[in-house]
Copies of this chain bind each other. A is one copy, B any other.
């Protein structure tokens, strides 16, 4: 049993979809969340820049003696996870592998679509991860650069949003996918619009749920649960502390949308 907190970070608010699922599945765990709101978004930035930012954040979270870090950002997971694992001895997990496992369990035809930011898609990380399993599959990818701005501005439905979703999904739907990986932590907020355009025959993979499950398994394997209640999944008393690199107002407003509850947050500059 280990009461040290779990660190979770993202470029901004997107990782709250992951934090939300961790709260629900592991309600006794303590969470330190960091959103890099002064430098958001990561999705169009270089591997070098995203890795530099991620290392700074891991150092910050390490100050809280975290027992595990979740890189709750597909772009940072795609570009920087290996470098982080190499530099830090603390266990660090990303959102790619859990999402891929879930997609492979779900897909019947092996025809899997992946949507994500420009950098996540061009890194081919999902394609490589799926192909490394040896599973017979056909992967088709598409970057959706306007999805993050839509979510960050609260345009979750309506004609414009549907039309943008339609345009981005068209090449994937034309290739008869049966499973679609939402390869960006913002995208679950657009789930309704995406499902409407994709139709009910396409299963959407929300890697936040898969990542929370993966985290639970990992804590179990390493005997790192905060207490016995956590393992049993009972409603617990874990705390959550939120830190951001820019002012807190906008973050708190968006956290309301993501977590459906009010939070406090603190600004830190490093």
Interface residue stretch chosen among A160-168, A174-182, A197-205: A160-168
Quick one: closest B residue to A148, CB to CB? B149
In the complex, which residues 218-266 of chain A have their Cβ closer than 8 Å to any Cβ of chain B?
A: 245-247, 250
A52 and B150 CA atoms in complex are apart in Å by 27
Q: Would B44 and A247 count as touching, CB distance under 8 A? A: no
Any B CB within 8 A of the CB of A45: yes
| Inter-chain contacts of A155 with B (CB < 8 A) | 146
Q: Would B146 and A150 count as touching, CB distance under 8 A? A: yes
A48 and B49 CA atoms in complex are apart in Å by 22
Copies of this chain, tallied across the complex: 2
Per the CB 8 Å criterion, the residue count for chain A at the interface is 27
| Inter-chain contacts of A152 with B (CB < 8 A) | 44, 145
A38 and B163 CA atoms in complex are apart in Å by 30
Identify A37's interface contact among B45, B149, B159, B269, CB under 8 A. Answer: B45
A120 and B269 CA atoms in complex are apart in Å by 23
Any B CB within 8 A of the CB of A89: no
**Shortest distance between the CB of A45 and any CB in chain B (Å):** 5
A52 and B45 CA atoms in complex are apart in Å by 20
Identify A38's interface contact among B49, B149, B153, B269, CB under 8 A. Answer: B49
**Shortest distance between the CB of A142 and any CB in chain B (Å):** 13
Any B CB within 8 A of the CB of A3: no
Q: Would B159 and A149 count as touching, CB distance under 8 A? A: no
Identify A153's interface contact among B52, B145, B245, B250, CB under 8 A. Answer: B145
| Inter-chain contacts of A148 with B (CB < 8 A) | 149
Any B CB within 8 A of the CB of A46: yes
| Inter-chain contacts of A37 with B (CB < 8 A) | 45
A246 and B52 CA atoms in complex are apart in Å by 11
Any B CB within 8 A of the CB of A65: no
Q: List 27 A-B contacts (CB under 8 A).
A: A37-B45, A38-B39, A38-B45, A38-B46, A38-B49, A39-B39, A44-B152, A44-B250, A45-B246, A46-B246, A46-B247, A48-B246, A49-B247, A52-B269, A145-B149, A145-B152, A145-B153, A146-B146, A146-B149, A146-B153, A146-B155, A148-B149, A149-B149, A159-B163, A160-B163, A160-B164, A163-B163
Residues of A with Cβ closer than 8 Å to B? 37-39, 44-46, 48-49, 52, 145-146, 148-150, 152-153, 155, 159-160, 163-164, 167, 245-247, 250, 269
